[in-house]
Amino acid sequence: MRKRKDSGGAEVFRITGARQGLADDVRGRQRRYIISMSVRTVSVILTAVLWNVERHVAIVTLVLGVLLPYVAVVFANAGRENAPSLPSTFVPAPSRPMISPVPAADPTESAPEDRA
């Protein structure tokens, strides 16, 4: 939920269930893809630099450099986010207290008609 303070000091809340705009969504996916590809570039460079120095680390960076493009493309093409759920507008009616049951008559007492 986004909130901001306006000049009156009251908080304003976002109450719609609308998704973010398409341009914002594409921009966010492009940013994630660029970050992933930057990490891949660094890992490929580290593979070349470390190949004769630390072969184990170089192999790990090589595997990272090979697998990261697939992962980046899958995340970039994952689609838009789910629409946030709408706020509940249902206001339940106040519940009335339940009337307590009438106490059961004691079977040992005689009925009022029998007392005559």
Q: Would you list the domain boundaries of the chain?
A: 20-80
- Of 81 and 1, the structure prediction assigns the larger pLDDT to 81
Question: At a CB cut-off of 8 Å and minimum separation 6, what does 86 contact?
Answer: 16, 17
Kindly report the pTM of this predicted structure: 0.51
The chain-wide mean pLDDT, for the chain, equals 75
84-114 tens-digit pLDDT: 555 555 556 677 777 777 777 766 666 555 5
Which contacts qualify for 22-27: CB closer than 8 Å, 24 or more apart? 22/80, 25/80, 25/81
Residue 66 pLDDT exceeds 60: yes
Cα(46)–Cα(55) distance, rounded to whole angstroms? Answer: 11
